Chains A and B, each alone.
Chain A
Amino acid sequence: MSISDTISDVSEAPVAVWSQIDANSAKVSLSGIVNVYSLGGVWTQIRDAQDAWLKQGDIKAKTLTVDSATVGSLDGAGIAFLIAIEEAQINAGAKYELSGLDPRYQPLLKEFDPISNLFPVPAVKPKRSFVVSTGMAVQNLIDDTVGLITFTGHLFSDLVWSVRNPKQVRWGDFINAAVEAGIAALPIVGLVAFLIGVILSFQAAIGMQQFGAVSFVGPLAALGIVREMGPLITAILLAGRSSAAFAAEIGTMTVNSEVDALVSGGLSPIRFLVVPRVLAGILVAPILTLFADIVSIFSSMLTMLIYGIPFVNFYNGMLSAVDVEDILSGLLKATLFGVVVSAMGCLRGMQTGTGAAAVGISATRAVVSSIVMIVIVDGIFAFISYKTGF
Chain B
Amino acid sequence: MDAQITPNNSPYAIDVQNLTVGYGSKVLMQNLNFTVNNGEIFVILGGSGCGKSSLLKNLFGLYQPLAGNVLIEGQNITTAIGAERQKIMTSFGVMYQQGALFGSMNLLDNVTLFMQEYTQLTQAQMDLLARCKLDLVGLLPYETYMPSEISGGMQKRAAIARAMALDPKILFLDEPSAGLDPITSADLDSTIQDLSKNLGITFVIVSHELASIYAIADKVIMLDKEAKGIIAEGDPKVLRDTSKDPRVHQFFNRIMSKDAA
Contacts and interface: CB of A to CB of B under 8 A. Distances in A.
A148 interface: no
Interface string A27-38: 000000001110
B8 A105 contact: no
Contact of A3 (B75, B119, B147): B75
Interface stretch (B121-129, B175-183, B236-244, B249-257): B121-129
Contacts of A4: 75, 84, 87
Contacts of A117: 135, 140
A35 B198 contact: no
Interface residues of B, number: 46
B91 A3 contact: yes
Nearest to B72: A3
A124 interface: no
A127 interface: no
A74 B147 CA distance: 30
A80 B104 contact: no
Nearest to B149: A354
Interface stretch (A49-57, A107-115, A182-190): A107-115
A270 B167 CA distance: 49
Contact of B129 (A3, A77, A104, A108): A77
Interface string A80-122: 1001100000000000000000001101100110000111100
B134 to A, nearest CB: 9
B133 A76 contact: yes
A317 interface: no
A104 B74 CA distance: 26
Contacts of A37: 118-120
Nearest to A123: B144
B136 interface: yes
A41 interface: yes
B124 to A, nearest CB: 9
Which range holds the interface residue count of chain A?
35 or more
Contacts of A44: 122, 125
Nearest to B114: A36
Interface in A63-85: 72-77, 79-80, 83-84
Of A10, A74, A108, A117, most buried by chain B (CB within 10 Å of CB) is: A108
B88 interface: yes
A77 B167 contact: yes
A177 interface: no
Contact of A105 (B133, B164, B198): B198
Nearest to B5: A73
Interface in B104-158: 104, 115, 118-122, 125, 128-129, 131-133, 135-136, 140, 143, 146-148
Given A80-B129, A83-B132, A107-B194, A7 B6 contact: no
B115 A2 contact: no
B128 A83 contact: yes
Interface string B4-34: 1111110000000000000000000000000
Contact of B135 (A43, A118, A353, A356): A118
Contacts of A358: 103, 148
A235 interface: no
Contacts of A3: 8, 72-73, 75, 87-88, 90-91
B199 interface: yes
B121 A40 contact: yes
Contacts of B73: 2-3
Contacts of B115: 36
Given A76-B132, A119-B128, 9 more contacts: A3-B73, A35-B167, A39-B119, A73-B5, A76-B129, A84-B128, A107-B197, A118-B132, A355-B146
9 contacts: A3-B72, A4-B75, A37-B118, A37-B120, A43-B125, A77-B121, A107-B197, A117-B135, A355-B148
